[in-house]
Amino acid sequence: MHRLHAYPDLRAMFRRLWLAALMGIFAALAVSGFRYAMLLLEEILLSNDTGSLVNAAAGLSPLRRLLTPALGGFVAGALLWGWQKMNQQRPHAPTDYMEALQTDDPFDYRSSLVKSLASLLVVATGSAIGREGAMVLLAALAASAFAQRFAPRDEWKLWIACGAAAGMASAYHAPLAGSLFIAEVLFGTLMLASLGPVVISAVVALLTTHALNDNSALLYTVHLSLDLHVREYALIISMGLVAGLCGPLLMWSMTATHNVFLRLQLAPPWQLALGGLAVGLLSLLTPAVWGNGYSVVQSFLLSPPLLSVIAGIFICKLLAVLASSGSGAPGGVFTPTLFVGLSVGMLFGRLWGIWLPGPDEIAILLGLTGMATLLAATTHAPIMSTLMICEMTGEYRLLPGLLMACVIASVLSRTLRHDSIYRQHAAKH
């Protein structure tokens, strides 16, 4: 029979858990700071206080709607380009939490903050890129800065992981999925010895976010009354197969678009401005292309549009995401991937709804399934993807079906394309 750990081990464990709670608080403050800065910038630049970039775009004149993303991209590109020119003689250090977890070098804090500022500029001016990438980076930076002062060097990676997981939890209101994001995507496996502090950081970050916002609501409101029987499980699993094919196609499209921008050989300010101009042009067709897609996802989940409307917005938004990501706009691709998955799922659901009763319910069910399975197909992290959708929407009864579909989507996608979207996206920066 094995003996319990000695007291010094228990003391070290409690010290780690206490530090993990502090990391969660720091991460929540960093995420909230970025969110409030973005709202302030939107109010100054766009006279928008609703928090929705789609509403902001709808209220602008066609000329401002066209030019605003381009100008934001130009300024952000000039900032990144100028900083790179100033520091080109300095030795390279990680500027991203994924890179920091894969090396033994400390963060380049100043470069990471400049990168976050550039991301703030592009997301506040309508670029179709995720704001959450910068939020998670800032959370990891805050955790790293604290760890370098108060923790031994061999623990630095653990605390960066805690900060990143806490940032995910704070941004998406999903502490378990945020923890598994670190375990599946960044660590590559479930490292149980490190998972305890990561979970503590994520949960504390979520509680701190709720306290700061005085709101504990789910990220997405969903009204799904459909009973799950054999037919529904068959639809969910079939969506996993569709997403397993669409995931590699989306990643290939992002790579191809980025290569097109590189072949133009433009300076970074003009490259990001061109990506922003593409978003501005598409926004003349529909303002829904602005931003990371959160408000559009919510409106679709509350009231699924007709097939033609979903298809039109999906095509425009997908092109905007490809233009923003391909131009090198600093930001995340997590939330845009959720939008693409929702749209593919709802299109699939609308087609099934032609023959099956309850078309709106089927569209919502497969929309949620599309979000989870495309996320699994692009991140190769099926457990995280399943929990992410359940935590964001509160639809935990979908968990068994989503887990099966996400595993299918992940395996099929990995068979067709080895790299995940995060390995690919990180390689571009």
Q: Is the pLDDT of residue 426 over 50?
A: no
- Count CB neighbours of 123 within 10 A: 32
First to last CA, the chain: 51
For all residues of the chain together, what is the average pLDDT? Answer: 86
Instruction: Report d(CA 266, CA 268) in Å as an integer.
Output: 6
The pLDDT of residue 269: 93
Nearest to 334 by CA among 72, 102, 38, 134: 134
- Provide the sign of the torsion angle of the four alpha carbons 297, 231, 229, 236, taken in this order: negative
What does the alpha-carbon distance between residue 59 and residue 208 come to, in Å, rounded to a whole number?
33
Rounded CA separation 346/333 (Å): 20
Percentage of residues of the chain with pLDDT beyond 70: 90
Interhelix angle for 268-283 vs 62-86, to 10°?
Answer: 160
Residue-level pLDDT at 6? 44
Asked if pLDDT for residue 287 goes beyond 70, the answer is yes
Q: Tell me the three state secondary structure of residue 332.
A: strand
292-334: per-residue pLDDT in tens?
A: 888 889 999 999 999 999 999 999 999 999 999 999 888 888 8
Q: Please tell me the least confidently modeled range out of 109-113, 169-173, 212-216, 266-270.
A: 212-216
Which candidate, 244, 270, 384, places its Cα nearest to that of 328? Answer: 270
What per-residue confidence (pLDDT) applies to 425?
A: 47
| H-helix segments, 47-155 | 53-58, 62-86, 97-102, 109-124, 132-150
Range of lowest pLDDT (73-82, 91-100, 243-252): 91-100
CATH number of 7-213: 1.10.3080.10
The lowest-confidence range among 72-86, 90-104, 215-229, 348-362 is 90-104
Residue ranges matching CATH 1.10.3080.10 in the chain: 7-213, 230-427
Please state the separation of Cα 421 from the chain's center in Å: 11
The structure tokens listed for 277 are 């101009």
The two structure tokens encoding residue 323 = 């233009």
pTM summary value? 0.85
For the chain, percent of residues with pLDDT exceeding 90: 48
- What number of residues does the chain have? 429
Q: Does domain 230-427 have CATH number 1.10.3080.10?
A: yes
- Hunting for tokens 């960093």 — which residue is that? 30
pLDDT digits (tens, 9 = 90+) for 172-184: 888 888 887 776 6
Q: Would you say the C-alpha torsion 372, 329, 290, 277 has a positive or negative sign?
A: negative
* C-alpha 205, offset from chain centre: 17
CB of 142 closer than 8 Å to CB of 27: yes
pLDDT over 50 at 427, yes or no: no
Q: Do the beta carbons of residue 32 and residue 170 sit within 8 Å?
A: yes
In this structure, what token pair is assigned to residue 284?
Answer: 């003349």
Sign of CA dihedral 17, 146, 83, 66: positive
Listed range (344-348, 405-409, 425-429) with the worst mean pLDDT: 425-429
CB 291 within 8 A of CB 39: no
